[in-house]
Structure 1
Amino acid sequence: MGWFTAPDYWLGRLVFQRALAAVYLVAFLTAALQFRALLGERGMLPIPRFVARVPFRRAPSLFHLRYSDGLFAAVAWGGCAVSAALLAGADAWLPLWGALLLWLVPWALYLSIVNVGQTWYGFGWESLLLETGFLAVFLGNDEVAPPVVVLFLLRWILFRVEFGAGLIKLRGDPCWRNLTCLYYHHETQPMPGPLSWFFHRLPAPLHKAETAANHLTQLVVPFLLFTPQPVATAAAALMILTQLWLVASGNFAWLNWITVVLALSAVRWPGGPPPAGSAPPLWYEVLVLAVAALLVFLSHRPVRNMISRRQVMNRSFDPLHLVNTYGAFGTVGRIRHEVVIEGTLDEVPREDSGWREYEFRGKPGDVRHWPRQFAPYHLRLDWMMWFAALSPAYAGPWFGALVERLLENDRDTLRLLRRSPFPRDRPPRFVRARLFRYRYTTWPELRATGACWDRTFVREFLAPTRLAGPARDD
């Protein structure tokens, strides 16, 4: 079946696979370095409790068979190792069936993590990585040319990511329709980056031009992905340019990078003739076509969601995350609130006690602390602190456990922070949380104070709290 493969895309497949392996590597590294405090046996949302109440069929995971922190570490670091091997091109050294199995490993391992990750893994880019990673299993290696149907389905994912995000904006906040959302977004986004202050201070007409360009890229350009070359390549290039603009303006974990990876699959790269490969074996053709038929059938659910007036964002329709719906920032906040956590060594907490502030790695805190670039690395606790500031309901499942760990000076929890104000052997007696309104300073204020933020106290978020009993030993 000569129509089955697209030899001209052999270099595009290579670039896509190596880039996807790099995103996998970041995702597994994030899991390995943060899981103990978030999900471990003594974490804020322990996995053993989750698997005890949620059956395997609803959340397939290796950890339903057995859980220990050592096993999770092995899965996460093992995922890092496999991802690094794929980044180095290990799949090219294997027979076709071996390459497929090797690409299946990181998908299965990361699925096991996401399905027990609870709130900490409730982000759309988790499903996007899994959906993309599942399709990557069937791209093959140098033994065969890339299958046309898999390349088409990768573009279909990219279409849903961009077009779905565009629709959710038009149906959502009116500021997207009057082109004013970027008057606020760079200041109120979940985790600003080092350039976000400067993006916020761009002239209003340029903000409107940014928004109009976003609508064009998300609502018109995606259809060009399914046109002949070189138009499809030009459409993918526009999407990549837009995503790099977003990378520069904020910290969105690997959302922008996995979107770039998908766009790379639509590019027909200039290059020499493809490696001499053999005709695809029959079993491979049957397998790819069967998987494609399944994914096309499952796609009716995200399509129905996109055309619905009640469109939802970032929804997975099956426990394997095979076909999902995406979207972001249907509503843009006008005011930025931040939860500031403080502790004191005083035996009796008073307003004039020596309250000391905990500093997070990515979320705004100290008004003089300029934001840093962390993406594609994902600071999960910092992101959830942004949601907590939007509504205490988001903090319900885990915030109390966080406060408890801070009162204990829990080592794994403190590693998630930039700085704890208390020495290791002297935990605070009380911890409290207060809500502040943050805004970017103006140019004169920045020159006068050196602070990129100004903040104003709003209200108490959590009254001074202490441990009910003696702190646990590490």
Structure 2
Amino acid sequence: MDLAAWTQWAGASDYDVARFVLQRGVAAIACLAFLSALAQFPALVGEHGLLPVPRFMERPYARRLPVVWRWWRYTDRRLRMLAGGGAVVSFAVVLGLPQRAPWWVPMVCFLVLWLAYLSISDVGQTFWAFGWESLLVEALFTVAFLGADDVAPPIVVVFALRWLVFRLEFGAGMIKMRGDRSWRDLTALYYHHETQPMPNPVSRTAHLLPRRVHRLETLGSHFVQLVVPFFLFAPQPVASVAAALVLLTQLWLVVSGNFAWLNWITLVLTFAAVDDRSVGAVLPWLEPAVTAGPTATPVSFVAVTVVVGGLLAWLSWPAARNLVSRRQLMNASFNRWHLANAYGAFGSVTQQRDEVIVEGTLAEAPAEEDWQPYEFRGKPGDPRRRPGQFAPYHLRLDWLMWFLPLGADDRWFRVFVVRLLEADRPTLRLLGHDPFGGERPRWVRARMFRYRFATRAERRATGLYWIRQERYLLLAPVELGRRPRG
């Protein structure tokens, strides 16, 4: 018997476009994540960062992590080498260079990226403690086994990626239904567009939509997250239709918010349920390209993918139980390799927006008018400034500033204030504007404000995007090496 013919069952020869999107899309997001680490990691958690990695690696927990820093002592220079190398390999995959080689070459490239990014995210502490970090890690591992251009995409991996999207979407839907009552009574989106961590240029317009639209928006979200994911496993073209619904909702989230690469990688992964015929039906000019894919399925490739599929199925048991658990965990990893994770987002919705405004002054005995605000790149500050678009790039310091009023651990913030008093250049480069042009301020303080979007009438009358009201002094004025004033 011809073993190659016998193993053709393992090849999904009508998913060549899906593989093209999955490999290059995940690699593009990985490239962005590595570049983000190059720009932000040293200042946030580097040798002289707000939460230094060398200190973190002294903990017993850190010594059990599967990261390169256990054998290769951490330095900022080595981090830049790791992140820079990851960006180069990722970009090569985006160009399709490894895919022209034998099937194991792209596999090795993606596994290297998986281990490299795992080593970065595992020691990033609170600045890398986001669900989409584990999502990227898991995606890099799973996409590694899609093969090269001259072999058919393995059906086992295609379904493993659909299972990943199912956990992502259904988990998010269930955490909403089990969490905040506003999701159940369809009022969550009365607040969400205004109070989300980092609004974008469209967020205010979305917030000002009629409330009946917000209720329909919430109902549609529940349908797509709680019902549609089951149809990702249906025969075609049903699976492609289900994927299209997920794609549409993710595109709306891309348009209306700044959720780093969460929605972008979800868009990419959802293509695992889109076959070539469906692509050809929507984009007829691609028909010749999508009907001439490879059909070969080497025995060695089948063996590897079957083993990987079995491994992912075995590791998925805790995540599957979590989906039906009354005490569902959100964005949790059940193994140190960050595979088969639990996902979810916004199990509760903040109904009011508080912002920490950090200010400094050069005056020795400052009057109120002497205080000047530090402006961040993305988070709201100046009420006249329209929110910007930064996703899929992740502004980590800005996101942590959103969590600060919610009672999150503020150890990093105390060090951040010291860095401002020192006029530390790496820290200042993370900001949008330093009012002192690199000069050391004499004092730094922080005030808490309540923010809301300006109504259309308020916008016309004042030119403001935000209306804010001071609540209280969060941090009394501090001077370098001294206790707070007052």
Give the shorter-chain TM-score range: over 0.9
Are the aligned partners of 1:367 and 1:453 in contact in 2 as well (CA < 8 Å)?
yes
Distance 1:13 1:75 in 2: 26
* Residue of structure 1 equivalent to 2:269: 262
Amino acid at match of 2:386: W
Q: Which residue of 434, 438, 441 corresponds with 2:454?
A: 441
Distance 2:259 2:171 in 1: 18
Amino acid at match of 1:422: F
Distance 1:225 1:5 in 2: 18
Alpha-carbon shift at residue 433 of structure 1 (Å): 0.7
Q: Which residue of 16, 25, 29 corresponds with 1:19?
A: 25
Q: Which residue of 328, 331, 336 corresponds with 2:348?
A: 331
Distance 1:60 1:387 in 2: 28
Q: Which residue of 110, 131, 141 corresponds with 2:148?
A: 141
Distance 1:346 1:168 in 2: 50
* Residue of structure 2 equivalent to 1:278: 296
**Secondary structure of 1:327 counterpart:** coil
Are the aligned partners of 1:344 and 1:353 in contact in 2 as well (CA < 8 Å)?
no
CA separation of 1:399/1:56 partners in 2, compared to 1, >3 Å: closer, same or farther?
closer
* Residue of structure 1 equivalent to 2:316: 299
Q: Which residue of 324, 327, 333 corresponds with 1:316?
A: 333
* Residue of structure 2 equivalent to 1:412: 426
Are the aligned partners of 2:451 and 2:466 in contact in 1 as well (CA < 8 Å)?
yes
Any residues of structure 2 matched to 1:94-173 within 5 Å, and which?
94-173=101-180
* Residue of structure 2 equivalent to 1:36: 42
Amino acid at match of 1:280: P
Distance 2:233 2:305 in 1: 20
Alpha-carbon RMSD: 1.3
Alpha-carbon shift at residue 289 of structure 1 (Å): 1.4
* Residue of structure 2 equivalent to 1:197: 204
CA separation of 1:31/1:361 partners in 2, compared to 1, >3 Å: closer, same or farther?
same
**Greater displacement, 117-126 / 26-35:** 26-35
**Greater displacement, 373-382 / 89-98:** 89-98
* Residue of structure 1 equivalent to 2:361: 344
**Secondary structure of 1:431 counterpart:** strand
Alignment of 1:231 onto 2:247? no
**Secondary structure of 1:314 counterpart:** coil
Q: Which residue of 347, 354, 367 corresponds with 2:370?
A: 354
Q: Deviations over 1:331-364 (max 9, x none)?
A: 11111000000011122356x3611100000000
Alpha-carbon shift at residue 376 of structure 1 (Å): 0.1
Distance 1:327 1:24 in 2: 21
Alpha-carbon shift at residue 396 of structure 1 (Å): 2.0
Alignment of 1:6 onto 2:4? no
**Greater displacement, 139-148 / 196-205:** 139-148
Amino acid at match of 1:453: W
TM-score normalised by length of structure 2? 0.93
Distance 1:34 1:459 in 2: 30
* Residue of structure 2 equivalent to 1:472: none
Are the aligned partners of 1:343 and 1:356 in contact in 2 as well (CA < 8 Å)?
yes
Are the aligned partners of 1:349 and 1:464 in contact in 2 as well (CA < 8 Å)?
no
Distance 1:110 1:289 in 2: 25
Distance 2:130 2:62 in 1: 21
**Secondary structure of 1:116 counterpart:** coil
Alpha-carbon shift at residue 143 of structure 1 (Å): 2.7
Alignment of 1:244 onto 2:244? no
Unaligned ranges ≥5, structure 2? 1-6, 281-286
Alpha-carbon shift at residue 20 of structure 1 (Å): 1.2
Aligned length: 464
**Secondary structure of 1:316 counterpart:** coil
Alpha-carbon shift at residue 317 of structure 1 (Å): 1.1
Amino acid at match of 2:237: P
Q: Which residue of 17, 30, 50 corresponds with 2:56?
A: 50
Amino acid at match of 2:298: P
Distance 1:239 1:192 in 2: 22
Are the aligned partners of 1:32 and 1:77 in contact in 2 as well (CA < 8 Å)?
yes
Alpha-carbon shift at residue 11 of structure 1 (Å): 2.1
**Secondary structure of 1:460 counterpart:** strand
Q: Which residue of 395, 405, 413 corresponds with 1:389?
A: 405
